[in-house]
Each structure stands twice: as structure tokens, then as C-alpha cells.
Chain A
């Protein structure tokens, strides 16, 4: 679903500026059209504030050649009155314990421009470890990721070790999506991730 007035520039080659590692806090949902002039490197969208904050902290601890900026949001669209740098990667976080987080992500997805789905959107699923607390079936989120042709990562964000590992992966993905890794583009990464998926799941 395209939003009017949007302009999202695809990543340029090595001519990007280094930004300082400044974290912005979560922003509440505001009514109004999406500004579409996002320019912050990575946006984590999800309802689990505490988990997102911890994940952002883990990511910022990572060693990265250029400096990293993480933006947290509860849902999209983002308010239009803030000056924001361009976003290179959006990661939607769904907690399997909460149907609300799934609904929230599903609605936010409608506000994302289609060009983002060429490798600049990912889904991160948390809560799979505690099976007794799950209210969403894993196949539901697998189907969601499949519908949007985007990579799906599972990680129990509550566990320190797993969180650090997925933070590393996200930083790496971000570097690729921002064009900092020569020879690999976001679209290349997308096709690499997809070919490793289990073919049997195609029927789901």
C-alpha cells in the first residue's frame, strides 16, 4: 500500500555520512499521514518496549565500522513533525505471547512503502522459548513473513546470550542494507536468506 507524498531514497554507495550513536525513545502512535522522509538507519517497531530497549542497547554495544543509530517505535506511522534521518532497515518485533503485538505489526505493515520490502524489512519473533505462554501459533508469523517476502528471525529477546547474537546479525544486516558492505546489496541478502528456507514450508 503506497502512501502519498513519499520519497524514500535507495542506499547510495560509499558517500554516506557517519552519524553519532544517538538513541531516540519510543514514540507513541499519532494520527496523521506517514511522513515518508525517514532517514534513521534502523527502526525497531513493536509493542514490547522493554525488550526493544534491551535489544537496541545490545546492538549499540556491537563493534561497527560506521556508527549506528537505532530508532524505536511502538507502531507506524511515525509522527511527521520530527526531522529524521533516512531509515535503512525496519525490523518488526512480534512477541508470540501477545496477540496484540501481532495485530499491531500487521497494521503497521500497511504504512510501509513497497520499496522497503526489497530487503529492508525483517521480522523478529520473540517468546518462542516459553511455549506455555504462547497465544500465537508459529505458523501464523511464518505465513506473515512469507506474505511480505521478508526474512524471519527467531530469538528469545529475554535471554542475554541470544539477544547479543541476534544484535550481531541485525547490525550485519543493517550494514548490508545501508550499502556499507561492498558487493552485497539488500536485495542480494534477501535472495540468499530466502533460498535457505525449508521448501516444505511453501505449502503452509
Chain B
């Protein structure tokens, strides 16, 4: 029996030590391939995550400057690293992108009925929107309309906003070489046609790829738990969940709203480890909600699909739409979204 055991265990041991040697001398590409192979799960789930806190970097953030990011609905995309993107060339990029948009509009692809506005594009960096110093700077792209009439105050109306950021993107940063800039999370607000045009330009110029970031029910329940766990001085909105029940002919939607303080009380009763959220706590939190609902309505919410979560911190929809309501936890929310984006890229 003993000889059988050792012969079985030795191949496994040598395989793992070979793996370690392979990792030490590996190039970034090899490291990435190895990490993809090791990743057996298709949704990220570290057993525990940190509850969003105010990070020191965020303290430098002027609340006024980022106020325009709050209370807006953003559509999420994940973005592969940009090749040869430089923060010093932002003016050049704005010029090129304006020209590209003008050309596209002339082609008739995105025709706006009515006045012929001049389009102006601005690229600017968003300071303080990062998790660690290693993260790439976040930057913002805006499409503004310039009024041609000389006597009007030259106010620029913002037609479309998109911003790129990377919050705690260490796992991605390690595996790319110097020429690449990692800004895996892209958020867009405005007309879909403009998003498509900007996306096309970026893809052509920097050899990257956008893909819409959907948030599945599993991640939505994590968000619900993490955002309920955030300490808030005052609650602006009720904690709301929306489930979709697939049934014919039309799907049924179930909406469940809880007073935010009750939600927090429930979370506190479930929460054990300070500062961290574990899978068991998330499951327990959601199970409490499901069983409460079942007791009253005899419906098993666990058999339906969670599509929307809304708390005082932020609200998220499964189609990849997010609205951040609280300045304090902006970085925390973005950190989780960055993680999802990085996972989708992988």
C-alpha cells in the first residue's frame, strides 16, 4: 500500500514544482497564459473581498471635480490594454478623434437631424481616480457641441462622455509589457452611436477591443452585500432588488424594496469578519431575504434571476449599467467593476 501511495503522490509534487520554476523565469506573456490556465472558474470569486473604504488617494480627489460622475447612468465595457497610448499626446488624440467623428458623420453614419453643430472632442486626465500608485491614470473623453453662432456665449454642451479607469488593476498590470496602458474599465454616457464611433476609433488607433460588461446575478448579489456593508451617514434611497421571472408569454418582474437601515441591520447580524466580506456572508444575506419573501408570498426568489440592485451607494443592472450615488465609495465601486472587467478580458 505504501509504495502505491508514494508513486501516486510523486508525479503531482514534481508537476507543481515544475510549475513554480516556470513562473520564475517567465515573460509577461507566459505568465498571462499560465494564469489563464490556472483560472478554472469563469466568474471571479475570491472567498473574501474588502468592504469599500475611503482610500488615501481618494482624499486628494476634489469632490467637485468628480461630482459629474455621480448620479449618471453609465454603460460598462471592458477594454483590453491600449498599445502605445501616451498621456502626453492627449491634444493630438482629441484632434484626431474630432476629425474622425466629423468624417463619420459626413458619411451619414450618424446623422443628426437639425442644426449642423461643430463637434469638439476633449481628452483630459482624471486625477485621483486610482486604487494604487501603479494604476494607470484615468482619463476622460467628452464630445461637446460648439455653437457656430458668434453672438451666442460659446457654451459647450456635452453630448457624450466616456471615461477610462483602472482601480487596483494589479493582476492585469503584472502581465502586460511596457508598451501597453491598462485601463480595463470603460464607462460611457450618451448616445449609443457616439459610443460606437469612439470605440471604433480607439480600436483602430490603439489595437484594443471593447466588449460590453454584463453583470450576472452572482456578482450583483456580491455588490448588494458589499454596498449594504458600507457605513453611511444618511441613506438617500431604499435598498431595492429586482428579479426577473422567466415565464411565457411575458417575463414577470418582482421588485423588493427594504428600508436601508433594516438592510444594514440584517447585514450586521450576518457579518462576522471585520473589514471583509466572505462568500458565506453574501449567501446568508441573500438567503435571509429569499426566505423572508417566501414566508410572505410563497415564491422562491432563488429560482428567479436577479437583474437589478439599488442601494444608497450605487445601483447596478445586469445589462452592465451602473449609477454611482455616493462620492465616498466611488473608488470602492469602481474597484469591483475593474475586477469584473479584468476577468472578462481574461
Residue numbers of A with Cβ under 8 A of B are 47, 97-101, 103, 128, 131-139, 142, 198-201, 204
B15/A135 in contact, CB under 8 A: no
What separation, in Å, do the CA atoms of A100 and B293 have in the docked complex? 14
15 pairs of residues in contact across A and B, judged by CB atoms under 8 Å:
A97-B305, A98-B303, A98-B304, A99-B303, A128-B42, A133-B216, A135-B216, A135-B302, A137-B45, A138-B40, A138-B41, A139-B45, A142-B40, A198-B40, A204-B40
Task: Indicate the member of A99, A131, A137, A138 with the most B CB atoms within 10 Å.
Answer: A99
What separation, in Å, do the CA atoms of A198 and B16 have in the docked complex? 12
B282 smallest CB distance to A (angstroms): 10
A176 smallest CB distance to B (angstroms): 24
Residues on the A chain within 8 Å of B304, using CB: 98
B245 smallest CB distance to A (angstroms): 11
What separation, in Å, do the CA atoms of A47 and B43 have in the docked complex? 24
Q: Which of B117-136 contact A (CB under 8 A)?
A: none
B320 smallest CB distance to A (angstroms): 9
Given that A133-B217, A135-B221 are known contacts, is A200 also in contact with B306, CB under 8 Å in the complex?
no
Given that A97-B305, A199-B15 are known contacts, is A132 also in contact with B214, CB under 8 Å in the complex?
yes
B41/A137 in contact, CB under 8 A: yes
B41/A139 in contact, CB under 8 A: yes
What separation, in Å, do the CA atoms of A137 and B43 have in the docked complex? 7
B300 in contact (CB, < 8 A): yes
A138/B38 in contact, CB under 8 A: no
CB within 8 A of B218: which of A101, A103, A135? A135
Residues on the A chain within 8 Å of B216, using CB: 131-135
CB within 8 A of B303: which of A100, A134, A201? A100
What separation, in Å, do the CA atoms of A18 and B345 have in the docked complex? 53
**Other A-B pairs, 17, CB within 8 Å; known A99-B302, A128-B42:** A98-B303, A98-B304, A100-B300, A100-B303, A131-B43, A131-B214, A133-B216, A133-B217, A134-B43, A135-B216, A135-B306, A136-B218, A138-B41, A199-B12, A199-B15, A200-B38, A204-B40
Residues on the A chain within 8 Å of B205, using CB: none
Residues on the A chain within 8 Å of B279, using CB: 137
B40/A200 in contact, CB under 8 A: yes
Tally A-B pairs: CB < 8 A: 58
Q: How many residues of B contact A (CB 8 A)?
A: 23
Residues on the A chain within 8 Å of B305, using CB: 97, 133, 135
Given that A131-B216, A134-B218, A135-B221 are known contacts, is A101 also in contact with B41, CB under 8 Å in the complex?
no
B41/A135 in contact, CB under 8 A: no
How would residues 216 to 231 of chain B score, 1 for a CB under 8 Å from any chain A CB and 0 otherwise?
A: 1110010000000000
B302 smallest CB distance to A (angstroms): 4
Residues on the B chain within 8 Å of A131, using CB: 42-43, 214, 216
What separation, in Å, do the CA atoms of A47 and B302 have in the docked complex? 12
B318 in contact (CB, < 8 A): yes
What separation, in Å, do the CA atoms of A98 and B214 have in the docked complex? 18
Residues on the B chain within 8 Å of A47, using CB: 303
Q: Which of B168-198 contact A (CB under 8 A)?
A: none
Complex: chain B residue closest to A134, CB-CB:
B216
How would residues 221 to 246 of chain B score, 1 for a CB under 8 Å from any chain A CB and 0 otherwise?
A: 10000000000000000000000000
What separation, in Å, do the CA atoms of A134 and B307 have in the docked complex? 11
Residues on the A chain within 8 Å of B12, using CB: 199
Q: Which 8 A-B pairs have the closest CB atoms?
A: A135-B217, A100-B303, A99-B302, A100-B302, A132-B214, A98-B303, A100-B300, A137-B45
What separation, in Å, do the CA atoms of A185 and B286 have in the docked complex? 42
Q: Which of B32-80 contact A (CB under 8 A)?
A: 38, 40-43, 45
A12 smallest CB distance to B (angstroms): 30
A137/B218 in contact, CB under 8 A: yes
Complex: chain A residue closest to B214, CB-CB:
A132
Residues on the A chain within 8 Å of B306, using CB: 135
Residues on the B chain within 8 Å of A137, using CB: 41, 43, 45, 218, 279
What separation, in Å, do the CA atoms of A128 and B43 have in the docked complex? 11
What separation, in Å, do the CA atoms of A137 and B221 have in the docked complex? 12
Complex: chain B residue closest to A201, CB-CB:
B40
A138/B42 in contact, CB under 8 A: yes
B295 smallest CB distance to A (angstroms): 15
Residues on the B chain within 8 Å of A97, using CB: 217, 305
What separation, in Å, do the CA atoms of A131 and B43 have in the docked complex? 8
B213 smallest CB distance to A (angstroms): 10
What separation, in Å, do the CA atoms of A142 and B42 have in the docked complex? 12
Residues on the B chain within 8 Å of A139, using CB: 40-41, 45
Residues on the A chain within 8 Å of B41, using CB: 137-139
How would residues 292 to 318 of chain B score, 1 for a CB under 8 Å from any chain A CB and 0 otherwise?
A: 000000001011111000000000001
A166 smallest CB distance to B (angstroms): 19
A95 smallest CB distance to B (angstroms): 9
